[in-house]
Amino acid sequence: MTSFPPGFLWGAATAAHQVEGNNVNSDLWVLEHCNPTLFEEPSLDACDHYHRFADDIRLLASLGLNTYRFSIEWARIEPEQGRFSVSALDHYRRVLAACHENGVTPMVTFYHFSSPRWFAGMGGWEKRNAGDLFVRYCERSTRHLGDLITSASTFNEPNLPMLLRWISNVDIPFTTVLRMGRQASRAIGAGQFGCFFLGDGDKLQNHMIAAHHRAMEALKSGPGDYPVGVNITLQDEQAVGQNSKRDKKCAEVYEPWLAAASRSDFLGIQTYTRCRVGKKGDLGPEPGVELTQMGYEYWPDALEVSLRYAAARVRVPIYITESGVATDDDSRRIDFIRQSLGGVTRCLADGIDVRGYIHWSLLDNFEWIYGYRPKFGLIAVNRETQERTVKPSAHYLGEIARQNRIPDLAVIG
């Protein structure tokens, strides 16, 4: 079977901090400008999407895609604790309106890694009252935007800090982390600096799961009536040898959030690769396997495995809210999309309730600590002029979206 169900969502995703530019009131902006910093370069103008969103959404629609997943930025909406910016909220109303004008379904993420600096200065997610603050931001935002939202996620990859404890391809120098944290605290005149990326996974997880459920209630209280879920990072975890720690890893990293998603309207999964787990933990890439620009294995089959893993644990609809590959060779991206989607069709044939495929990413953008080096975009962005150049992979995915099936490669040309 190469066809997809009617109404299947086809889209591309971005996140505010990675594309908007000049997110100066965020915790990450502070960290990017510390010395030393973990960031290879600062985000600065990013893709200037804050001003170019209308053209970008038009471009997405012109490719044939029908869904745009993006995040709204807490640091802009609540620049000081308890003070909300109506002009920032109006901006996101215009983004949502641009989606509707172009026949594009907007999927909104309320939190995609970045926080207001004041939130970090209070200790961030590790603090007990963090959830109250997040829920208030969600309430205020949906009051202004809810009538235009079609689908929303509370958090993007809230299980990432737990995953980072395990994965071996992220080599974060601890002394830089400490020095950067101390400097960030001084920079904003706070006693501590609680950043999502670097937080204590256990504390963070408990607070965020509770916050997810409360935020979901707030988002569902209207205006508007849209499904609310959570998007988790979910990789293809393979056990290697005897006494592999794979099951322990899954229990820590995935199970708590899959349980939370079971009590939500949908689950979003974000899959990039496989991880081999031995008796001591992650083993890293297998020698000889092609690597992406992120240093992990090129492994499109991971999507099918992750979908099956999730479907065995949750009864709610599943969206692929991110799948993609960092590469300079766009033909590898086309191959990656083709192979990943092959897996999705097999899952659909087995009755798994997959409702959409959202590619990461619409644009080449700011890949967090790695800066602008990794290229995940369907569309290239000139770093000097901000000019957009559509890559062949964008046309490939757009054609699949238009036909709602995987045509022969030859047809694409």
The nearer residue to ligand GCO, 219 or 362, going by C-beta atoms, is 362
Rounded distance, CA 270 to CA 319, Å?
9
Scan residues 206-235 and list those touching ligand GCO (CB under 6 A).
Answer: 233
- How many helices (H) and strands (E) would you count in the chain? 16, 12
At its nearest, how many Å lie between ligand GCO and the CB of residue 320? Answer: 12
Pick the closer one to ligand GCO by CB: 30 or 160: 160
Distances (CA, A) of 204 to 126, 185, 233, 306, 393: 5, 19, 16, 24, 37
C-alpha to C-alpha distance for 42 and 23, rounded to whole angstroms: 11
CB of 323 to ligand GCO, least distance (A): 9
- Compute how many other C-beta atoms are within 10 angstroms of the C-beta atom of residue 333: 25
For residues 73 and 157, which CB has a smaller minimum distance to ligand GCO in the complex? 157
**Phi and psi at residue 212, to the nearest 5°:** -55, -50
Residue 122 vs 379, nearer CB to ligand GCO? 379
How many chain residues interact with ligand GCO (CB under 6 A)?
A: 10
Q: Are 114 and 195 in contact (CB under 8 A)?
A: no
Of residues 308 through 337, those in contact with ligand GCO by CB under 6 A are 322
Q: In terms of C-beta density within 10 A (0-12 exposed, 13-18 middle, 19 or more buried), how is residue 5 classed?
A: exposed
- Kindly state whether residue 244 participates in binding ligand GCO, applying the rule CB under 6 A: no
Query: What is the nearest approach in angstroms of ligand GCO to the Cβ of residue 293?
Result: 10
Choice from 23, 141, 153, 270 touching ligand GCO (CB under 6 A): 270
* Residue 111 DSSP label: E
**Residue 255 CB partners (closer than 8 Å, separation 6+):** 313
Shortest distance, position 368 Cβ to ligand GCO, whole Å? 6
Site for ligand GCO in 9-68 (CB under 6 A): 15, 18
**270's tokens:** 């974000």
Rounded to whole angstroms, the Cα distance separating 154 from 149 reads 13
The residue annotated as part of the active site, out of 32, 73, 78, 157, is 157
CB of 26 to ligand GCO, least distance (A): 14
- With respect to ligand GCO, which residue has the nearer C-beta, 18 or 25? 18
Q: What is the dihedral sign for C-alpha 34, 37, 38, 43? A: positive
Instruction: Write down the least CB distance from residue 109 to ligand GCO, Å.
Output: 9
Nearest-approach distance from CB 360 to ligand GCO, in angstroms? 5
Q: Which residues pair with 274 in a beta bridge?
A: 236
Q: Which residues in the 151-170 window bind ligand GCO by CB under 6 A?
A: 156-157
Pair of tokens at residue 240:
């290697």
CA distance 217 to 136: 11
Interface with ligand GCO in residues 354-413 (CB under 6 A): 360, 367, 376
Residue-by-residue DSSP string for 152-188: EEEEE-TTHHHHHTT-TT----HHHHHHHHHHHHHHT
Residue closer to ligand GCO by CB (options 114, 264) is: 114
Smallest gap from Cβ 301 to ligand GCO, in A, equals 18
**Is 252 labeled as catalytic in the residue annotation?**
no
**Nearest 5°: phi and psi at 265?**
-80, -25
User: Would you list the DSSP string of 216-262?
Assistant: HHHHTTSSS---EEEEEE--EEEE-STT-SHHHHHHHHTHHHHHHHH
* Contact residues for ligand GCO, defined by CB under 6 A: 15, 18, 156-157, 233, 270, 322, 360, 367, 376
The residues annotated as belonging to the active site are 157
